[in-house]
């Protein structure tokens, strides 16, 4: 019996090590799950259980691989999710297409009312859902709650949008003719989201897509499946209360096989993908091959540029928040800090001092400012990037080490002395490493900002009004987000969110991003008894 126990222990340890490397482990005994511990009993208030169905299309299912979600702060198993099989994926797409026939007939303001109810339902569970984000993704509690708040905000925004969507009536050159633009929903929107914003990014897409008359099929990240399930349960209840097909907001938990199917599926009219540039390119090629629509939100290698006239009381907290927040795992995280040479040493000293005061701890502790990386792979990427930076001439100012505690904790790191075009500086590594570069002139700084392949977010700190408008102009920043005297991260929902170049070109959230979820028709209506042709052509 003792030999059997020892053998079992060895097997369990081997399995534990194997799946730790993959970021989440495949199995966990019921007794070890956090959801069964009194401290985490609140998870059940979100409708979560030890083993959860990972497919929703009006009914809950999941007959595929069972995966276990793990807490990045201690690498303990939270609960399990049954992923979708390909047969269940097929069933879900078919049900979503049928649900669209019902949803598209509902007037836009009525659809807006449903979205309003979704926002209200989320608002009621904002703290507990934010706690789940913190537990499963690893970001600090206030950021987890803030992420749910973004979904609530975009629901509010979408309600107003539901009475404003439309195109212009244009002047026709022909007598007795009307020229108008008609906007219609594309149909089924496939939404593939990333681990770092497991609620908000789906919210941006879902609220706007629904208001525009589309139905949604969501595949969240395989390492945050509990958040996907919990959010979908909240939405499903609203749809059920309004006697609407649940497949209006379908969900399938799965890995690359489901993502590939969504990308290649001609029944899916728009694929909205948020993730790495590498995977985004693969998605883009698959969607383009079938001439499908795509909305890409990919990586960013974002810079803050600080001129010698800048207010350092703004610079220091901005740089620290943008580089350290979410443990460097935002697509808008500041990865490059460009400092004019006259203030370089002073700013580095101030920021390094601020780094040492950042409170590291459990992400759900309200006093914590900095939590763990999401996976063990990210820790390895962090270590590898620091070694490469040293090899390429970088100097470690602070940080650089893995923290000796349970979970995936690393020290926020500052590296100086690298050339602006060092390979590691031009590599987006999703970890809290800040490369500090020294520049001389405005022209040089603007060029360095733009020389990376991505074009998501950017910010300058200056009091020079002329420089501000040069930065905003055609020879300034080439990014989709161009800020002045604020961080690169922390965008509001009212503006369009997205970037250029290898960031993908997609736009989500506010402004006229709704147009990406609709198709435009130019309509010419002849209400006369004559048939004049455009451009004065005579065909008699």
Cα torsion angle, 145, 146, 152, 155, sign: negative
Q: Which domains does the chain have, with CATH numbers?
A: 55-63+88-297 (3.40.605.10), 302-492 (3.40.309.10)
Q: What are the helix (H) ranges across 362-489?
A: 376-391, 442-450, 465-472
Residue 370 DSSP code: B
Residue 362 burial class via C-beta count within 10 angstroms: exposed 0-12, middle 13-18, buried 19 and up: buried
Q: Are 231 and 209 in contact (CB under 8 A)?
A: no
Question: What does each of the 540 residues of the chain score in pLDDT, given as a tens digit?
Answer: 434 444 444 444 444 444 444 444 444 456 699 999 999 999 999 999 999 999 999 999 999 999 999 999 999 999 999 999 999 999 999 999 999 999 999 999 999 999 999 999 999 999 999 999 999 999 999 999 999 999 999 999 999 999 999 999 999 999 999 999 999 999 999 999 999 999 999 999 999 999 999 999 999 999 999 999 999 999 999 999 999 999 999 999 999 999 999 999 999 999 999 999 999 999 999 999 999 999 999 999 999 999 999 999 999 999 999 999 999 999 999 999 999 999 999 999 999 999 999 999 999 999 999 999 999 999 999 999 999 999 999 999 999 999 999 999 999 999 999 999 999 999 999 999 999 999 999 999 999 999 999 999 999 999 999 999 999 999 999 999 999 999 999 999 999 999 999 999 999 999 999 999 999 999 999 999 999 999 999 998
- pLDDT on residue 29: 55
- Distance separating alpha carbons of residues 377 and 58, to the nearest angstrom: 36
- Distance separating alpha carbons of residues 393 and 400, to the nearest angstrom: 15
* Count of Cβ atoms closer than 10 Å to residue 19 Cβ: 18
- Residue 342 structure tokens: 């006259």
Question: What DSSP assignment string belongs to 293-327?
Answer: EEEEE----EEEEE-TTS-HHHHHHHHHHHHHGGG
- pLDDT on residue 465: 99
- pLDDT on residue 246: 99
Residue 31 DSSP code: G
* Count of Cβ atoms closer than 10 Å to residue 178 Cβ: 14
Alpha-carbon distances, residue 446 vs 213, 350, 402, 433, 449 (angstroms): 41, 24, 34, 21, 5
Q: How many angstroms from the chain centroid is the CA of residue 500? A: 16
Give me the half-sphere count of Cα atoms (radius 13 Å) on the Cβ side of residue 110: 9
- Residue 537 structure tokens: 């052509």
Q: Are 392 and 424 in contact (CB under 8 A)?
A: yes
Answer yes or no: 297 catalytic.
yes
Alpha-carbon distances, residue 489 vs 225, 320, 326, 389 (angstroms): 25, 11, 10, 24
- Residue 426 structure tokens: 């031009």
Q: Are strands 500-501 and 481-484 parallel, antiparallel or unpaired?
A: unpaired
Catalytic residue among 91, 136, 143, 297: 297
- Distance separating alpha carbons of residues 459 and 337, to the nearest angstrom: 10
Nearest 5°: the CA angle 404, 405, 406 is 135
- Distance separating alpha carbons of residues 458 and 248, to the nearest angstrom: 37
- pLDDT on residue 540: 86
Give me the half-sphere count of Cα atoms (radius 13 Å) on the Cβ side of residue 247: 20
């Amino acid at each position: 019996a003792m030999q059997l126990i020892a053998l079992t222990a060895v097997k369990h340890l081997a399995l534990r090590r194997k799946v730790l490397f993959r970021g989440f482990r495949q199995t966990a005994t019921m007794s070890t799950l956090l959801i069964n511990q009194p401290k985490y009993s609140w998870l059940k208030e979100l409708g979560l259980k030890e083993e959860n169905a990972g497919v929703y299309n009006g009914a809950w299912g999941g007959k595929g691989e069972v995966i276990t979600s793990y807490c990045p702060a201690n690498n303990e198993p939270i609960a399990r999710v049954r992923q979708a099989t390909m047969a269940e994926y097929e069933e879900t797409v078919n049900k979503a297409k049928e649900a669209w026939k019902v949803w598209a007939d509902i007037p836009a303001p009525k659809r807006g009312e449903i979205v309003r109810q979704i926002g209200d339902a989320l608002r009621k569970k904002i703290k507990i859902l934010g706690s789940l984000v913190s537990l499963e993704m690893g970001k600090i509690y206030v950021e987890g709650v803030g992420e749910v708040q973004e979904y609530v905000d975009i629901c509010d925004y979408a309600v107003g949008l539901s009475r404003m969507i439309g195109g212009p009536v244009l002047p026709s050159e022909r007598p007795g003719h009307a020229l108008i633009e008609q906007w219609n929903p594309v149909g089924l929107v496939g939404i593939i989201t990333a681990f770092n914003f497991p609620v908000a990014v789906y919210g941006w897409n879902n609220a706007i897509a629904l208001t525009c008359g589309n139905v949604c099929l969501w595949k969240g990240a395989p390492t945050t499946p509990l958040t996907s399930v919990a959010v979908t349960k909240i939405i499903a209840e609203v749809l059920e209360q309004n006697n609407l097909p649940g497949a209006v907001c379908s969900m399938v938990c799965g890995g690359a096989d489901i993502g590939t199917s969504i990308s290649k599926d001609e029944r899916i009219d728009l694929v909205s993908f948020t993730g790495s540039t590498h995977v985004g390119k693969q998605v883009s090629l698959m969607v383009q091959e079938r001439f499908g629509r795509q909305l890409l939100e990919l990586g960013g290698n974002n810079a803050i540029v600080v001129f010698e006239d800048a207010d350092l009381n703004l610079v220091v907290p901005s740089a620290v928040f943008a580089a350290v927040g979410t443990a460097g795992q935002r697509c808008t995280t500041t990865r490059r800090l460009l400092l004019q040479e006259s203030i370089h040493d002073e700013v580095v000293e101030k920021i390094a001092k601020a780094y040492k005061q950042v409170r590291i701890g459990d992400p759900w502790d309200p006093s914590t400012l900095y939590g763990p990386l999401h996976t063990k792979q990210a820790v390895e990427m962090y270590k590898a990037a620091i070694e490469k930076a040293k090899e390429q001439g970088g100097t470690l100012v602070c940080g650089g080490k893995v923290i000796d505690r349970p979970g995936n904790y690393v020290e926020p790191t500052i590296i100086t002395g690298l050339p602006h075009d060092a390979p590691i500086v031009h590599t987006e590594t999703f970890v809290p490493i800040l490369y500090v570069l020294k520049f001389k002139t405005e022209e040089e700084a603007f060029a360095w900002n733009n020389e990376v392949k991505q074009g998501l977010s950017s910010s300058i700190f200056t009091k020079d009004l002329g420089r501000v408008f040069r930065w905003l102009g055609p020879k300034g920043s080439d990014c989709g987000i161009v800020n002045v005297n604020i961080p690169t991260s922390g965008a509001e929902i009212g503006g369009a969110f997205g970037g250029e170049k290898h960031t993908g070109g997609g736009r989500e959230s506010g402004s006229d991003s709704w147009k990406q979820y609709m198709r435009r028709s130019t309509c010419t209506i002849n209400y006369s008894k004559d048939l004049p042709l455009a451009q004065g052509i005579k065909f008699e």
